[in-house]
Each structure stands twice: as structure tokens, then as C-alpha cells.
Amino acid sequence: MTTTLTSVPYRRPGLRGLRLFGRGPLFAISVAVLAALVLVAVLAPVLAPYDPEALDLSASLVGTTGDHLLGTDQSGRDILSRLLHGARTGLLGPLLVVGVSTLLGTLLGVVAAWRGGWADAVLSRSMDLVFAIPGLLLAILLVSVVGPGMTAPVIAMAVAYTPYVGRLVRGIARQEKARPYIEAYVVQGWSGRTVCLRHLLPNIAPTVFAQSAMNFGYALMDLAALSFLGFGVQPPTADWGAMINEGQGAVLQGAMLPALAPSACIVLAVVAFGIVGEGLADRIARREK
């Protein structure tokens, strides 16, 4: 038994092992951008110079001035304030989507990999089925019944993202399960649940985390698209996707900022999430080598 115990690796120290502030300027910049984004979302009421929903029709489409750093929209609302507040809905929606889909996907993936047999067959086929229905379409369908707002898009996206996580987790959990140390624990009489929770999960967590970072960007994009279509966050609440929708008219009149400013925010956030996600996956791949 002592020989099998030596093959048990030291438990990886969770997220600390990811070396979040590793090499590469792009990675570091992206992490900084995301940190700033979170900070802005939390402190929006303090940072915003104006009430994001305060109408001032006399100041419609004012360009960049000392009073309005990024100008105003057609209803005279301060764009900077709306951007800052928009970070809240912009991050909250994807957070819910990624949180739910990661938890659900990990659970389904681990159960499928650990149980194998018919449980695996049923779970895998079900995930394949959901995978075949595009998330945007599912969200639109749900909105058509439930009505516009955050609820339907978030639920639909969470469901649609679950098989992405579930398939990934099932794959790596099967690999991990085949390693000798897992068998060593099982032979010692540990229950499957304990081995999964204390050893399997911590070992696959970094990969799942990297995938979730990438999913966060995609979810942000999808939810913004739904808001742009008028199905997500409803006016007058400040939201980047909805702001672009409202700014379309201004673009035709030659005023770019009402639509371009939130556009830039979305692209920046998605790029940053993408770089962080890819960077983490890269690091994990290199460490596995």
C-alpha cells in the first residue's frame, strides 16, 4: 500500500496554481482590464458623474465637452455614466450564465465520466441534443413566450452553454479517472463522491476555469446581441447592447459616440476575456507537459 500511496500526487493548490500574473504583456494587460471592469461595475454609482437615466432633451447628442466627457445620447443622457452603469448588467448576465452552466456542466460531465455505462450514454446523448440547438435561437424562442428582460436570455444561454462545459469536463474527467492515483484511492475504500470532490475536481478545475473565462466573453457577446435586438435588458436601464440599439439612429445623423462607445466596451471586454482564457489554457497545457 505504501507504494501506491507514493503515486498519489500532491493536491494542486486550486487557483493559486494558475499563476494569474504570469509572463506576457498582453495577458497581464487583459487581466488588468478585467479587474478594472469589475471595479467599475461595483463602483459605478460612485464613479458616474450623472444619473444614467436622467433625461435632458435640451442637451440631445452633445459632443464631447468638459461637462460630458463622452457626450450625450439622443435623449440627452450622459454616455459615460451609462457606460459605467452598463458594466453592471454587462457583467452580471454573463456571470449568471457562466456560473450556472459551469456548475451544471461540471456536475453532468463528472457524473457521466465517473459512472460510465448507461448513465454516460444518456447524459452524453442529451448534451449532444442540446448542443445541436443554437443558444441564440433558444433565447429568442423563450423570450417570445416569457417576454423581454434578463430572465429568459440568461436561462436560455445557461442551458445552451452547459453542454460546452459538460463535454469538456467529461473528456478530461475520463482521462483523469484513468490515472493510477484515482484507482489507489478507490482501492483504499474511499467513496466515489469523496474521491471526485477532493481529488478529481481540484485536478480538472484549472481547465474548466480557463474554458469558463472564454465562455464569459462569448456569453457577454450573446447577451449583448439579445439586448441589441430589444429582448434583453429593457430601457431605460443602461446596458451596452441596448445602448447600441438606441444609438443606431444617431449614427445615421452622424453622431458616432452613442453607439461606438458601448461597442468599444464590448469588444474590449470580449478580447480581454479571450486572451485570459487562452492564456490560462496555454499555461495549463504547458504545465501538463
Partner 1 sequence: MTRFLLGRLLGLVAVVFVTSVVVFGTIHLAPGDPVTFLLHGRPATPEAVAALRAEHHLDDPLVVQYGSWLGGVLSGDLGRSAQYHQDVTALLGSRLPGTALLVGYAALLVAVLGVSAGILAALRPGLLDRMVLIGTGVATATPSFVTAIVLVSLFSVQLGWFPGPGGGAAEGLGARLHQLTLPAFALALTFMGLLARVTRSAMLDELGREHVEVARARGVAGRTVVRRHVLRNALGPVVTVGGTMLAGLLISTSIVETAFDVPGLGSLLVQSVTAQDFAVVQAVTLLSVVAFVLVNLAVDLLAPLIDPRLSPGEGPS
What does the binding site for partner 1 look like in residue numbers (CB under 8 A)?
A: 125, 128-129, 132-134, 136-138, 140-146, 217, 221, 224-225, 228-231, 241, 244-245, 247-248, 251-252, 254, 256, 259-260, 263, 266-267, 270-271, 274-275
- Least distance in angstroms from the C-beta of 264 to partner 1: 8
Smallest separation, CB 244 to partner 1 (Å): 6
Look-up of cell digits 454587462: 90
Strand partners, 72: 78
Q: How far is the CB of 196 from partner 1 (least distance, A)?
A: 29
As measured in angstroms, the least distance from the Cβ of 149 to partner 1 is: 13
Which of 41/224 has CB closer to partner 1?
224
Closest to partner 1 by CB, 112 or 138: 138
For the chain, the helix, strand and coil percentages under 3-state DSSP, each to the nearest 5: 75, 0, 25
Q: Are 15 and 284 in contact (CB under 8 A)?
A: no
Nearer to partner 1, 45 or 134 (CB): 134
Q: Determine the distance from the C-alpha atom of residue 50 to the mean position of all C-alpha atoms in its chain, rounded to a whole number.
A: 29
78 DSSP 8-state letter: B
Between 55 and 146, whose beta carbon lies closer to partner 1?
A: 146
Distances (CA, A) of 172 to 3, 179, 200, 207, 240: 26, 11, 10, 9, 36
Closer to partner 1 at the Cβ: 194 or 253?
A: 253
Please, what is the minimum distance in Å from the beta carbon of residue 133 to partner 1? Answer: 6
Asked if the peptide bond before residue 236 counts as cis, ω within 30 degrees of 0, the response is yes
Render the burial of 43-68: b for 16+ CB within 10 Å, e for the rest.
Answer: ebeeebebebeeeeeebebbeeeeeb
Scanning the structure block, which residue is given the C-alpha cell 440547438?
133
Nearer to partner 1, 24 or 134 (CB): 134
Rounded to a whole number of angstroms, the minimum distance from the CB of residue 146 to partner 1 is: 7
